[in-house]
């Protein structure tokens, strides 16, 4: 199971295991209100768009403090 979070929005799923961060961002940008330019943190570590996601991951899309969005 993978949990994708942006702000107060959260979505648990198994379908994204093995996906790149960029694919997840594109697929869930409207559902989770992921703003353009949000950083991606996977299991507490900042990752790039080409990194892939493993099972049991916690994915969080975040904006810097003081920015509008997530």
pLDDT of residue 69: 56
Question: Distance (Å, rounded) from C-alpha 24 to C-alpha 22?
Answer: 5
SS3 22: helix
Residue 51 has pLDDT above 90, yes or no: yes
Residue 65 has pLDDT above 60, yes or no: yes
Residue 53 burial by Cβ neighbours in a 10 Å radius (0-12, 13-18, 19+)? buried
- pTM higher than the cut 0.85: yes
Q: Where are the domains of the chain?
A: 2-62
Higher pLDDT, 64 or 13: 13
Confidence at 16, pLDDT banded by 50, 70, 90: very high
Top-level class of domain 2-62: alpha beta
């Amino acid at each position: 199971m993978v949990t994708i979070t942006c702000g107060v929005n959260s979505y648990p799923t198994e379908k994204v295991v093995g996906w790149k961060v960029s694919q997840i961002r594109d697929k869930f940008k409207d559902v989770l209100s992921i703003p353009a330019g949000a950083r991606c943190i996977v299991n507490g570590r900042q990752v790039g768009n080409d990194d892939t996601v493993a099972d049991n991951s916690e994915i969080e899309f975040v904006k810097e403090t003081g920015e509008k969005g997530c």
